[in-house]
């Protein structure tokens, strides 16, 4: 065993044998390959750093920053829509309404374009779906609001025409009552003259008193009818501008009472006037009572306004929801940007250290190769060979030229 171990070549001997087989060229190539390996290592670290830095820069400039900017723009369009919607609800005519609708429609188109941009920017589909759901509800509400405004404008135009006809019908009642009031005033004046006429027979005086009492009753009924008719006109005007459904109901009830009072008072009129008055009241009543009356039309307007106000309130909540989601998207984008920056800086620091270490190791290896091998081995052998050659040229024949491979 011991003899066997003694003949086995040592590690150093094996290494020396391997190096001797490589020769000078092989050893120099090996040394240069070793130095080049450090350069390759540095270049690889640089390429890795540039790649990671490029990815981080692309994430920031092509995805997260555009997403944050587009989301903020989306929020601004939503705010403009929510701000413009109340003006749409209160438009006074179709031309103004169309102008407001076109403005809102342009913002709606911008919303869907921005959602497409956010999707293209790589925003998570769950976030896009949440934004799309709110935007769809918002646009649906605006469509409903547009329909309500159209209905309100049509009803308002109809109410305006009905109110105009009602005013004319009430004026016809006043025109009917005014001449009879003048006749009654003349009858009362005649009675006063007869009352103090000493030549008037006693029997005729009783007849005059009876006629006066009848004329006075008619006159009072005429005056009360004129007041009631004026009240009807006034209440129709107030009903057309009432703010609440309850207020319209109260006015409508009082209108019914005023019309009933007119009909009751008409029973005290002269038969010739009575039939005319009943006919005039019949023409006036549909404007105050019924499905196409001024109060009924105003109630429809109020219903449209109330429903529109509910849609506006819901749009306000949707705006808050969209703003919160956009804020979350912005925060997430800011976090991604910060993480990408941190990662890029970390890779840059790592690559810098790798490059520094590679340069230091390259320098050290170059120095060691130059000093330990080239200087102490190759240069030494070349110096010995050069000296031997000069000695031979000088005439010495006892100089041995070294041929040992190392």
234-270 per-position pLDDT tens digit? 999 999 999 999 999 999 999 999 999 988 888 888 7
- Which pLDDT belongs to residue 245? 92
Q: How many other C-beta atoms can be found within 10 angstroms of the C-beta atom of residue 206? A: 10
In angstroms, rounded to a whole number, what is the distance separating the alpha carbons of residues 130 and 334?
A: 20
- Which pLDDT belongs to residue 1? 42
- Which pLDDT belongs to residue 3? 41
In angstroms, rounded to a whole number, what is the distance separating the alpha carbons of residues 404 and 406?
A: 6
347: left (phi over 0), alpha (psi -120 to 50) or beta: alpha
Torsion of CA 97, 103, 105, 106, to 10 degrees: 160
Q: How many other C-beta atoms can be found within 10 angstroms of the C-beta atom of residue 107? A: 20
Angle between helical axes of 294-368 and 245-266 (0-180°, round to 10): 170
In angstroms, rounded to a whole number, what is the distance separating the alpha carbons of residues 343 and 362?
A: 28
- Which pLDDT belongs to residue 2? 43
- Which pLDDT belongs to residue 400? 62
- Which pLDDT belongs to residue 183? 72
- Which pLDDT belongs to residue 4? 43
Q: Which among 11, 141, 118 has a CA at the least distance from the CA of 67? A: 118
- Which pLDDT belongs to residue 5? 43
- Which pLDDT belongs to residue 398? 66
Q: Which residues of the chain have pLDDT under 50?
A: 1-7, 19, 406
């Amino acid at each position: 065993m011991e003899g066997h171990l003694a003949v086995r070549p040592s590690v150093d001997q094996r290494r020396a044998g391997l190096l001797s087989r490589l020769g000078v060229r092989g050893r120099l190539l090996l040394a240069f390959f070793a130095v080049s390996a450090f350069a390759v290592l540095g270049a690889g670290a640089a390429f890795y750093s540039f790649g990671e830095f490029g990815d981080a820069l692309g994430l920031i400039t092509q995805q997260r920053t555009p997403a944050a900017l587009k989301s903020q723009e989306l929020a601004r369009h939503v705010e403009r829509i929510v701000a413009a919607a109340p003006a749409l609800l209160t438009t006074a005519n179709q031309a103004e309404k169309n102008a407001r609708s076109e403005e809102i429609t342009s913002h709606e188109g911008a919303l869907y374009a921005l959602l497409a941009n956010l999707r293209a920017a790589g925003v998570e589909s769950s976030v896009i779906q949440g934004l799309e759901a709110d935007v769809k509800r918002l646009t649906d509400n605006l469509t409903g609001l547009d329909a309500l405004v159209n209905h309100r404008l049509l009803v308002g135009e109809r109410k305006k025409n009905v109110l105009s006809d009602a005013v004319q019908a009430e004026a016809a009642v006043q025109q009917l009552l005014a001449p009879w009031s003048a006749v009654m005033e003349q009858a009362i004046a005649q009675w006063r003259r007869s009352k103090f006429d000493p030549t008037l027979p006693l029997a005729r005086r009783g007849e005059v008193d009876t006629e006066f009492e009848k004329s006075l009753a008619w006159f009072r009924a005429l005056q009360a009818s004129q007041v009631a008719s004026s009240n009807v006109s006034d209440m129709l005007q107030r009903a057309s501008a009432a703010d609440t459904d309850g207020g319209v109901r109260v006015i409508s009830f009082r209108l019914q009472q005023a019309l009933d009072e007119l009909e009751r008072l008409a029973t005290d009129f002269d038969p010739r006037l009575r039939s005319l008055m009943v006919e005039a009241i019949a023409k006036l009543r549909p404007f105050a009572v019924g499905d196409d009356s001024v109060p009924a039309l105003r109630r429809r307007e109020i219903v449209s306004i109330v429903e529109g106000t509910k849609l506006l309130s819901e749009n306000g909540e949707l705006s808050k929801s969209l703003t919160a989601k956009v804020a979350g998207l912005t925060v997430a984008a800011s976090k991604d940007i910060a993480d990408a920056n941190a990662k890029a800086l970390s890779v840059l620091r790592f690559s810098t250290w790798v490059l520094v270490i590679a340069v230091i190791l390259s320098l050290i290896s170059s120095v060691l190769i130059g000093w330990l091998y080239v200087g102490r081995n190759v240069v030494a052998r070349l110096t010995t060979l050069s000296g031997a050659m000069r000695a031979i040229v000088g005439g010495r024949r006892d100089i041995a030229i070294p041929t040992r491979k190392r």
